[in-house]
């Protein structure tokens, strides 16, 4: 695990591994790339999913460089947004990839906001399934409507509903990938089939999973690979949302060799299942 430390004491990933159009080409397996914070690219045999991409206009200071410029992205088969928070939805990035994006997917309300902004977005209820080429995607429940506790007018103009935030369960030819997304730990999260990979938020924050909750989730699925996200990217040492340390997990999760603290842009290849061509 190659970690660095920021001047303010935050754990940081290794240096960014830049990539280009080759990451979007047809391949004979499935690759996952963490793009920093909560942004992800999944290439499953040439079908490309981009999840919560923030490659431009991040509204907080960053500790990392982006591994690719948004205007250099050649193809997006489906863009998935989990919720409306500013570290998950960037209209600047969406504008830069609009011409190469085939479809948009988001939960209720978020889909309306995106559609009104010029991005025709399919709305998906919690538990709904849809297909992108040969990938089956199902939304999973979350609890992350923290805005209801705020007092600033930019939050109080409406009631924020639980169903406006989702995770994504993705079934590929090479295995299952689960993004629980930003969420308090729910009983439903502990009753899933065991995924092959969890895109793992371990933020010790009351509107995220909390560290103890993250360990409980990880140990409920002791064979799932854990790709750490939502850490090491934002220069915010006093925000528990952003300053988790993947090395801490090595002490507490079963089979700690499955904890992966990737560098931004570094690829993780799903191991092929037996009898998979």
Q: Residue 75 is part of which domain span?
A: 4-14+24-269
Q: Is residue 19 part of a domain?
A: no
Beta strand ranges found along 52-189 (DSSP E): 78-80, 104-106, 121-123, 129-132, 135-141, 166-172, 175-179
Q: Is residue 169 part of a domain?
A: yes
Contact present, 200 and 178 (Cβ < 8 Å): no
Encoding tokens for residue 215? 């360990």
Half-sphere exposure of 267 (CA within 13 A, CB side): 15
| 148 three-state secondary structure | helix
Domain count, the chain: 1
Using CA atoms, how far residue 159 sits from 86, 111, 155, 207, in Å, is: 18, 16, 8, 17
Alpha helices in the chain (DSSP H): 91-97, 110-116, 153-156, 211-220, 246-249
Q: What pLDDT does residue 271 have?
A: 84
Q: Is residue 163 part of a domain?
A: yes
Q: How far is Cα 249 from Cα 2, in angstroms, rounded to an integer? A: 14
CATH of residue 35: 3.60.15.10
Whether the model pTM is above 0.75: yes
Q: What pLDDT does residue 184 have?
A: 98
Q: Is residue 108 part of a domain?
A: yes
The one-digit pLDDT tens for each residue of the chain (277 residues) are 889 999 999 999 999 999 999 999 999 999 999 999 999 999 999 999 999 999 998 889 999 999 999 999 999 999 999 999 999 999 999 999 999 999 999 999 999 999 999 999 999 999 999 999 999 999 999 999 999 999 999 999 999 999 999 999 999 999 999 999 999 999 999 999 999 999 999 999 999 999 999 999 999 999 999 999 999 999 999 999 999 999 999 999 999 999 999 999 999 999 876 655 5
Q: What pLDDT does residue 59 have?
A: 84
Q: Is residue 127 part of a domain?
A: yes
Q: How far is Cα 267 from Cα 269, in angstroms, rounded to an integer? A: 6
Q: Is residue 274 part of a domain?
A: no
Q: What pLDDT does residue 133 have?
A: 98
Q: Is residue 277 part of a domain?
A: no
Q: Is residue 220 part of a domain?
A: yes
Q: What pLDDT does residue 155 have?
A: 94
> Which residues, including other chains, have CB under 8 Å from residue 151's CB and lie 6 or more apart?
none
């Amino acid at each position: 695990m190659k970690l660095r430390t920021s001047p303010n004491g935050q754990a940081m990933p290794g240096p960014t591994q830049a990539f280009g159009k080759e990451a979007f080409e047809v391949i004979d397996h499935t690759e996952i790339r963490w793009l920093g914070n909560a942004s992800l690219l999944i290439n499953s045999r040439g079908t490309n999913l981009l999840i919560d991409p923030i490659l431009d206009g991040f509204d907080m200071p960053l500790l990392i460089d982006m591994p690719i410029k948004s205007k250099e992205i050649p193809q997006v088969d489906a863009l998935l947004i989990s919720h409306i928070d500013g570290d998950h939805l960037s209209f600047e990035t969406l504008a830069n990839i609009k011409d190469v994006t085939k479809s948009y997917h988001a939960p209720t309300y978020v889909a309306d906001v995106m559609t009104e902004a010029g991005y025709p977005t399919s709305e998906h209820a919690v538990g709904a399934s849809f297909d992108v080429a040969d990938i089956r995607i199902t939304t999973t429940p979350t609890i992350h409507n923290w805005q209801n506790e705020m007092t600033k007018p930019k939050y109080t103009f409406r009631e924020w509903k639980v169903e406006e935030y989702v995770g994504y369960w993705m079934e590929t030819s090479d295995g299952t990938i689960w993004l629980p997304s930003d969420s308090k730990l729910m009983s439903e999260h502990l009753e899933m089939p065991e995924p092959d990979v969890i895109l793992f938020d371990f933020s010790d924050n009351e509107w995220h999973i909390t560290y103890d909750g993250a360990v409980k989730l990880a140990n409920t699925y002791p064979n799932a690979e854990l790709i750490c996200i939502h850490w090491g990217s934002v220069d915010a040492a006093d925000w528990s949302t952003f300053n988790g340390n993947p090395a801490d997990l090595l002490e507490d999760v079963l089979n700690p060799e499955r904890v992966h603290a990737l560098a931004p842009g570094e690829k993780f290849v799903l191991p092929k299942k037996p009898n998979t061509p």
